[in-house]
């Protein structure tokens, strides 16, 4: 599982305060904790309308002072992501492009010929498609553009867009997003499937339990990358357990190592 | 999910002590807690070589004093189960028969023409078959006998036998038992699939996480009945969440009701 640590995000009130006050110690502490907890990328999102790039540079500098874990440059603006790439010491994750406007061209052009990876959301100018077939049409568009810019599938993390469970009706549950994941993975076995798993539990009580159950079901359908809090050690334990059950960890060696390293099971 | 409460079992040291000392208050307290936590059956297993039937009668009497939840009469001896049925005020669950010896004939004959349900383990005189195909052969034998005794599939809980994950090798994970579950459910949509979910985590640390992840994956393959501790409220929460994700709970109504009733999320 590729873990994209979600905690350096200006939409989280405590982090917004740290960004506003340029409280470098807070940011560094969170970055260090995410790195120690096994994050593969540390997502950096300023979540600001004004001064976004300056804040991103400051955040990225903070993170890079305490860890070598690559950065996920995260902004709703593809142009901000392109600029933020320049602040990074090493290739990271471009978060994100989508079928909207010229985002695919701008983002893929920026990472073409580099080692950067990229998150592609399956939405377009019509919004978030309601059916699996329509999301897969956006996917086809993403892959056609990726080919044009010579971006190999294993550098692409497809986010099929996880929506809240509490409004699912007519026996649908999560079947649509699971179908999208399954079909994508069948077509491109080396592609990554990612998502913000906590979206699933919006408006429900005991969100962690819902997030955990969803993560297990999504992994079964091909999810191998996810945006979440790596300090949620129960979720990490369940991810290692699920990998063993899906046949990706013979004799539970990885599960046991992760446990011994304190990745889950013990408060560090 | 049909919950078979596992706590009244002489293989649990504290319960063995209560049985030895005929500590009725302890047994009643546990039975009451299991019932309040939503158990559909309360499993009663004396786990004794000598005096088993007498102990089962005493245990069943204790349980029936405090709750109307039906009993699962549980013994490795099919004859003890037949005798224990007589101690029950209402039809419950016969736990269990298997392909060994004359167990199918003895057990099915006893419940034929009644409203008792039955657990059937997919093992036979050769032991626990190693391949899915061989377990399915035992299944075919079970179903042929069930037809002979006029036991409808919806009264049968098939236990495909969940084995410990820590010895799974060669990328197998849980694929074999998942295949058995899937094929059985395809053939008989109304049959129940059950199992002792905690077997999966034997010899691993943080067993609860492994049990939870397994339960979610097994439910995805058809598990709709299980032997576990209903006081494990996190597992119950994940089960309700998984049912919603699998499209069995529109708008998360059941999840929300169960939460409000304190089935998970809050210590009662």
Residue A112 has pLDDT above 80, yes or no: yes
Place of tokens 């599960």: A255
Q: Return the axis-axis angle of helices A13-20 and A24-36, rounded to nearest 10°.
A: 130
Cα angle B166-B168-B171, degrees, rounded to a multiple of 5: 130
- What global pTM score does this model have? 0.95
Chain A residues within an 8 Å CB radius of B220: 217, 220
> Per residue in B45-93, pLDDT tens?
999 999 999 999 999 999 999 999 999 999 999 999 999 999 999 999 9
Cα nearest neighbour of A167 on chain B: B251
Cα nearest neighbour of B246 on chain A: A173
Residue B267 has pLDDT above 90, yes or no: no
Retrieve residue B72's tokens: 């699962």
Question: How far apart are alpha carbons A235 and A246 in whole angstroms?
Answer: 16
The conformation of residue B112, written as its DSSP 8-state character, comes to: T
What per-residue confidence (pLDDT) applies to B200?
Answer: 97
Beta-carbon count within 10 A of B171 CB: 11
**Count of residues making up chain B:** 268
| Bridge partners (DSSP) listed for residue B196 | B227
Q: Do A204 and B169 make contact, defined as CB atoms within 8 angstroms?
A: no
Residue A55 has pLDDT above 60, yes or no: yes
Question: How far apart are alpha carbons A253 and A268 in whole angstroms?
Answer: 21
Name the average pLDDT for chain A: 96
Cα angle B131-B132-B134, degrees, rounded to a multiple of 5: 65
What per-residue confidence (pLDDT) applies to B268?
Answer: 45
What per-residue confidence (pLDDT) applies to B178?
Answer: 98
Exposed e or buried b per residue across A202-214, where buried means at least 16 C-beta atoms within 10 angstroms of its C-beta: eebbbebbbbbbb
Question: How far apart are alpha carbons A116 and A120 in whole angstroms?
Answer: 13
Give me the mean pLDDT over the B162-181 stretch: 95
The answer to whether A4 touches A10, Cβ cutoff 8 Å, is: no
Question: How far apart are alpha carbons B249 and B159 in whole angstroms?
Answer: 25
Q: Do B252 and A168 make contact, defined as CB atoms within 8 angstroms?
A: yes
* A96 min Cα distance to partner chain B (Å): 27
What per-residue confidence (pLDDT) applies to A169?
Answer: 87
Give me the mean pLDDT over the A49-54 stretch: 96
> Per residue in A220-244, pLDDT tens?
999 999 999 999 999 999 999 999 9
Strand blocks (E) in B82-241: 93-99, 117-124, 156-159, 192-193, 225-228
What per-residue confidence (pLDDT) applies to A268?
Answer: 45
What per-residue confidence (pLDDT) applies to A13?
Answer: 97
Q: What ipTM was estimated for this complex?
A: 0.93
Beta-carbon contacts below 8 Å between A and B: 130
Question: How far apart are alpha carbons B219 and B193 in whole angstroms?
Answer: 9
Residue A267 has pLDDT above 80, yes or no: no
Q: Do B205 and A175 make contact, defined as CB atoms within 8 angstroms?
A: no
Which residues does B contribute to its contact with A (CB < 8 Å)? 165-175, 200, 204-206, 209-210, 212-214, 216-217, 220, 234, 237-238, 241-242, 244-252, 255-256, 259, 264-265
* A254 min Cα distance to partner chain B (Å): 11
Question: How far apart are alpha carbons A95 and A194 in whole angstroms?
Answer: 11
Q: Do A259 and B210 make contact, defined as CB atoms within 8 angstroms?
A: no
Element holding A94 (H helix, E strand): strand A93-99
Which residues does A contribute to its contact with B (CB < 8 Å)? 165-175, 200, 204-206, 209-210, 212-214, 216-217, 220, 234, 237-238, 241-242, 244-252, 255-256, 259, 264-265
What per-residue confidence (pLDDT) applies to B169?
Answer: 87
Strands A2-9 and B93-99: unpaired
Cα nearest neighbour of B236 on chain A: A209
* B88 min Cα distance to partner chain A (Å): 36
> Per residue in B211-252, pLDDT tens?
999 999 999 999 999 999 999 999 999 999 999 999 999 999
What per-residue confidence (pLDDT) applies to A241?
Answer: 97
Chain A residues within an 8 Å CB radius of B248: 171, 173
Element holding A158 (H helix, E strand): strand A156-159
Q: Do A247 and B205 make contact, defined as CB atoms within 8 angstroms?
A: no
Question: How far apart are alpha carbons B111 and A158 in whole angstroms?
Answer: 53
Q: Do B213 and A175 make contact, defined as CB atoms within 8 angstroms?
A: no
What per-residue confidence (pLDDT) applies to B170?
Answer: 86
What per-residue confidence (pLDDT) applies to B266?
Answer: 64
* B1 min Cα distance to partner chain A (Å): 15
């Amino acid at each position: 599982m590729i873990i994209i640590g979600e905690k350096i995000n200006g939409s989280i009130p405590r982090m917004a305060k740290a960004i506003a006050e340029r409280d470098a110690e807070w940011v560094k502490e969170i970055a260090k904790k995410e790195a120690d907890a096994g994050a593969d990328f540390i997502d950096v999102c300023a979540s600001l309308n004004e001064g976004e790039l300056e804040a991103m540079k400051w955040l990225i500098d903070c993170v890079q002072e305490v860890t070598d874990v690559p950065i996920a440059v995260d902004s709703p603006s593809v142009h901000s992501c392109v600029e933020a790439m320049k602040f990074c010491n090493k290739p990271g994750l471009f978060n994100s492009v989508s079928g909207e406007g010229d985002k695919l061209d701008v983002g893929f052009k920026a990472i073409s010929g580099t080692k950067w990876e990229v998150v592609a959301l399956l939405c377009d100018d019509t919004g978030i498609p309601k059916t699996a077939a329509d999301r897969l049409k956006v996917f086809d568009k993403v892959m056609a553009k990726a080919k044009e810019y010579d971006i190999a599938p294993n550098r692409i993390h497809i986010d099929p867009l996880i929506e809240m469970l509490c409004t699912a009706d007519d026996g649908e549950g999560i079947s649509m997003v699971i179908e999208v994941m399954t079909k994508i993975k069948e077509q491109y076995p080396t592609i990554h499937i990612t998502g913000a798993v906590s979206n699933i539990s919006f408006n429900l009580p005991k969100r962690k339990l819902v997030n955990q159950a969803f993560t297990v079901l999504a992994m079964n359908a091909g999810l191998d990358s996810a945006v979440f809090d790596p300090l949620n050690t129960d979720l990490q334990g369940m991810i290692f357990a699920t990998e063993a059950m899906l046949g990706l960890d013979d004799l539970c060696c990885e599960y046991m190592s992760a446990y011994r390293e304190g990745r889950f099971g013990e408060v560090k």
